Each structure stands twice: as C-alpha cells, then as structure tokens.
C-alpha cells in the first residue's frame, strides 16, 4: 500500500465530532510531525545551494549563530535568533490544549536553545497551553458537571415518579383497559426503565464510593459493559415504543379491520424486541 492511500485511510479515522479518541490524537500528532519535517527539509534545501545538506546546516547556522528550527514531539519550532524568546501558538491538533495561548522557548546568546538543567533537555514553557489541565480548571469543570448531574437527576426523578403514578392509574381502573392504554403503559414502562438504567449507570460508573469501587474491582469490565448495554437497550426500546404509538394511530385510520388483540401482540414484539436487534447492529 502506497503512502497516499495510507494517509487517506488514516484521515478517515478522524471523526468530525467534538471528541478525539487516543488513536485519532496520535494520527493528528503524526501528521503534524510529518508536515513539520517536510517544512524543515524545504528550509534546508533553500539554503544549501550546491553544498550538501549537512554542511549547509552546520555552516549556515554557525555563521548567524541562530537556533535550529526543530520538532520537539509536540510543536514545530521555527528558527530562533540569539538572546530572543520565541513564541508559537498552542497547536490546534492537541485537543486538550488552550488554543488561544502560546508556548515559549528561549534562544541564548550563543545560538543554542536554553536547556532545563534538571532534566538536561531543551526548556519550553507550555503553561498557557495547559490552562485547561490545571487543578483550578478541572475543579471548575467538575463543578459544572456536578450541577448538570444534579439537574438531570432531579428531572429524571420527577419524571420517574410521575410515570409510576400514571402506570398505576391505568392498571388499577378497569375502565381504562383498552389497546390504546395498553400501548401507553408499555411506553411509560420503557421511560421508567430508561430512567432507572440511567440511575444505575451513574451509581456504577460515577459514584466514586468505596463499595462501588470494590464491586467494580471484582467484576472488572463485565459490570460496566452490562450496565451500559442495558442503558442502550432501554434507550432503543424507548424510541421503538414511540414508533409503536405512531403505528397504532396509523392503524386506527387505515387498518381498522385488523384484530386489536393480534395487533397489540405484534406491536409489543416490535417495541421490546426491536431494541435488541438495533443493539446488535
């Protein structure tokens, strides 16, 4: 496989949503590295003339004592002039960076990038780029998510209580027993199961309690997968029961000759079983 098809194949791996997977981030970083190396090579070709690349790099930069442009694993740094600070915008291909900030390096008087003596590596300041990763930023982010969690928990709790009351009323009064209300009961039950699965998912995945941590440790990934699978199943059945409501209304207008009892069984199978098929896909 040639380089172009490979690059095209990898480009398709980066989705257009707002969240990057680890593989997508690695691909974007590799793409930036390749682009940087191409640019550096073009710069060397421009200054070398008839001299070899190695000699031109040594003598050209030695004469003006400037710092070498280079790739440091994250950013493609341009040429730095002696005793000057070089700033580069935080790269957009690093998803978690603050893209309004800048990264900094310092070129010393001798044309060398300043070193961090403690680790014996080139010094670089990425503080502005990592603003979103600071404890203060994480704390504010956690506060927002905690409020959001509280809001939808209260909302789902009110909805769950109301649906349970509605189902009890429809089941208790015999005068309300009919095909239309049976379908309503199933729809309400799917909403109840969806709300309950959300509560269980939150407890298992996000509670942070010692008991749930021990349970998660015992079950490993199995418990997590079961909970998420149930949540997706009830989410699918919820939508299918909304479809069933529409099918029943359609049948009242165009297929009044069908048996209500047989039709109810068919709609029940669609509502509860179609979710399993959708989940398998």
**pTM given for the model:** 0.53
The distance in angstroms from the start CA to the end CA of the chain is 30
What is the CA angle 168-170-176, rounded to 5? 155
Domain with CATH 1.20.1070.10 in the chain: 135-279
Residue 190 has pLDDT above 60, yes or no: yes
Partners of 115 in beta bridges: 122
Residue 219 corresponds to which tokens in the numbers above?
């079950």
Average pLDDT of the chain to the nearest whole number: 78
Give the containing element (helix H, strand E) for 194. helix 179-206
Residue 273 has pLDDT above 70, yes or no: yes
Instruction: Give tens-digit pLDDT for 59-89.
Output: 544 555 678 889 998 999 998 888 899 999 9
Contact 131, 101 (CB under 8 A): yes
CATH topology assigned to domain 135-279: Rhopdopsin 7-helix transmembrane proteins (1.20.1070)
Half-sphere exposure in the Cβ direction for 64 (13 Å, CA):
11
Q: How many residues does the chain have?
A: 281
Q: Who wins on pLDDT, 215 or 238?
A: 238
What is the CA angle 119-121-125, rounded to 5? 95
Q: What CATH number was assigned to the domain covering residues 22-129?
A: 4.10.1240.10
CB count in 10 Å sphere of residue 6: 10
Q: Is 80 helix (H, G, I), strand (E, B) or coil?
A: strand
Residue 116 corresponds to which tokens in the numbers above?
């961090």
- The interaxial angle of helices 179-206 and 210-219, nearest 10 deg, is 100
How far is CA 234 from its chain centroid? Answer: 22
Instruction: State the pLDDT at residue 184.
Output: 92
Instruction: State the pLDDT at residue 221.
Output: 67
Instruction: Give tens-digit pLDDT for 155-175.
Output: 999 999 999 999 999 999 989
Domain with CATH 4.10.1240.10 in the chain: 22-129
Q: Which residue has the tokens 């039950």?
A: 189
């Amino acid at each position: 496989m040639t380089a172009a098809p490979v690059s095209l194949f990898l480009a398709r791996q980066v989705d257009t949503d707002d969240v990057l997977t680890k593989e997508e981030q690695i691909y974007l970083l590799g793409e930036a590295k390749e682009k940087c190396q191409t640019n550096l090579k073009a710069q060397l070709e421009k200054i070398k003339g008839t001299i070899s690349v190695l000699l031109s790099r040594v003598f050209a930069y030695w004469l003006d004592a400037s710092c070498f442009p280079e790739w440091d694993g994250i950013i493609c740094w341009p040429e730095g002039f002696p005793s000057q600070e070089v700033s580069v915008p935080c790269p957009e291909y690093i998803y978690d960076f603050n893209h309004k900030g800048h990264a900094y390096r310092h070129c010393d008087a001798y044309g060398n990038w300043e070193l961090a003596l403690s680790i014996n590596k080139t010094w670089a300041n990425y503080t502005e780029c990592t603003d979103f990763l600071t404890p203060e930023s994480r704390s504010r982010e956690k506060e927002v998510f905690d409020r959001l969690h509280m809001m939808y928990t209260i909302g789902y709790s009110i909805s769950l209580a109301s649906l349970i009351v509605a189902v009890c009323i429809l089941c208790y009064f015999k005068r309300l027993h009919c095909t239309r209300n049976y379908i309503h009961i199933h729809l309400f039950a799917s909403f109840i199961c969806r709300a309950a699965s959300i509560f269980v998912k939150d407890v298992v995945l996000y509670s942070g309690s010692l008991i749930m941590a021990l349970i998660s440790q015992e079950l490993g990934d199995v418990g997590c997968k079961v909970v998420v699978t149930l949540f997706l199943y009830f989410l699918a059945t919820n939508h299918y029961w909304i479809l069933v409501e529409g099918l029943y209304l359609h049948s009242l207008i165009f297929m009044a000759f069908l048996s209500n009892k047989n039709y109810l069984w068919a709609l029940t199978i669609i509502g509860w079983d179609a979710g399993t098929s959708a989940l398998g896909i």
